[in-house]
Amino acid sequence: MTADGQSTAARDVVDVVALGESMVTFLPGRPGRLADVPSFDRAIGGAESNVVCVLAAAGHSARWVSRVGADGFGDHLVETIGGYGVDVSAVERDPARPTGIYFRTAGDRATDAHEVAYYRAGSAASAMSVANVDLAAVRAGRVLHLSGITPMLSDGCLGLVRELTALRAHRPLISFDVNHRPALGRSADGPGVLLELARGADLVFVGEDEAAEVWGLVGAEAVRDAFPDPETLVVKQGGRGATVFHRKHVTFVPAPHVDVVAAVGAGDAFAAGFLSATLRGLPVRDRLRHGHLTAAAALTVPGDLAAPPLRDHADRLVALDERAWGRLRLGPGWTDAADRADEEVRTP
């Protein structure tokens, strides 16, 4: 039986399930310090929910599992994520804890001027545990997508992720995005916890710079040496591209040139594109190219979430030869050019 009394059979199997905290995000109405910004626009933010929102928009069946407060912000999260076509029936409401929120400045997150103010301590999602999450709903997917954010929220969340990544028969394919967040505490044991959980996954996403910061690993080969167990390891290398270690094979695909509007949400979009192509059984090279294209969709809009390119359009671009792929440049509005794929192929 599940936590809400339903039988396991009552849960529909979907393509992808993601578990993790989402928060209401307040985006500044103008550039400047948080102290100087007079007004903010409301949006949503959450690594795992971002992934399933993009996958649902791309035509896959997807479910988000989490806890939110019994408040208006919780209502907004559930309604907005559900509006993408994501199944939110397993999201629990917590009457005693609030929904997390955060405020950020308009600047690039990579700069020193960027500010983020989190109000997530004691949030409903931080109280997730094996005891209060519908495990049957979480496991009823072809893929279960997790990130390194969740286990850093609380001991209960860490225990939950350990349970979900434990080796057992008939578990879904476990996708794990390291998503290191230094501000989340567990500073002493955080690197070891992330290493342990990633090694228990089937598919791991990690940034090359992230691996250097967390574990002191320099270069994609060093990352693979530290993660020999996952069948598939994706090392993201920024604007250069990404390298995939799949079983005994190594594949590098350069990223297309992108006229960046905002460098937010690209990592989650890349994971969604790669997972979409994985679910379709495409070759590793094509999975990487789909990841790059979906990331480019996010990079060319102001917010965290962007509609992915239409599948036929993306497939045409993925099928380009190496020379044409190398000449590809994508700017704002490129995903709207569904019938003009050749027009996006131009030199910088």
Strand pairing class (101-104; 23-28):
parallel
The first and second tokens of residue 12, run together, are 């529909």
- Within 80-180, strands assigned E span 92-94, 101-104, 116-119, 141-147, 173-177
Going residue by residue through the chain, which has 348 residues, state the pLDDT in tens, using 9 for 90 and above.
Answer: 333 334 444 578 999 999 999 999 998 888 889 999 999 999 999 999 999 999 999 999 999 999 999 999 999 999 999 999 999 999 999 999 999 999 988 765 555 667 889 999 999 999 999 999 999 999 999 999 999 999 999 999 999 999 999 999 889 999 999 999 877 766 668 899 999 999 999 999 999 999 999 999 999 999 999 999 999 999 999 999 999 999 999 999 999 999 998 888 899 999 999 999 999 999 999 999 999 999 999 999 877 788 999 999 999 999 999 999 999 999 999 998 654 444 444 433
Catalytic residue among 87, 94, 177, 268: 268
pLDDT value at position 298? 93
The structure tokens 């007004």 sit at 39
First to last CA, the chain: 57
Are 169 and 195 a contacting pair, CB within 8 Å?
no
CB-based contacts of 332-335 (< 8 A; 24+ apart in sequence): 332/259, 332/261, 332/300, 332/301, 333/300, 334/296, 334/297, 334/300, 334/309, 335/297, 335/300, 335/306, 335/307, 335/308, 335/309, 335/310
52: phi then psi, degrees, rounded to nearest 5 = -75, -30
Q: Are 190 and 198 in contact (CB under 8 A)?
A: no
Distance of CA 23 to the CA centre of its chain: 14
Secondary element (H or E) of residue 325: helix 322-327
**Is 87 among the residues known to form the active site?**
no
Q: In the prediction, which pLDDT does 31 show? A: 86
Helix (H) or strand (E) segment spanning residue 52: helix 47-57
Q: Are the C-beta atoms of residues 313 and 330 closer than 8 Å to each other?
A: no
Per the CB < 8 A criterion, the answer to whether 10 and 225 are in contact is no
* C-alpha Rg value of the chain to the nearest Å: 19
On the CB side of 331, how many CA atoms lie within 13 Å of its CA?
6
Amino acid at position 229, single letter: D
CA distances from 75 to 72, 78, 87, 88, 99 (A): 5, 5, 14, 11, 9
State whether residue 292 is helix, strand or coil.
helix
According to DSSP, the β-strands at 241-246 and 141-147 are unpaired
CA distance 58 to 18: 16
State the pTM of this model: 0.91
Integer Cα distance of 273 and 168 in angstroms: 27
Listed in sequence order, the DSSP H helices in 29-151 are: 47-57, 72-83, 135-139
Question: Can you say whether the dihedral through the CA atoms of 59, 62, 71, 303 is positive or negative?
Answer: negative
pLDDT at 273: 98
Token pair in block for residue 265: 């949400």
**Whose CA is closest to 144, among 120, 124, 166?**
166
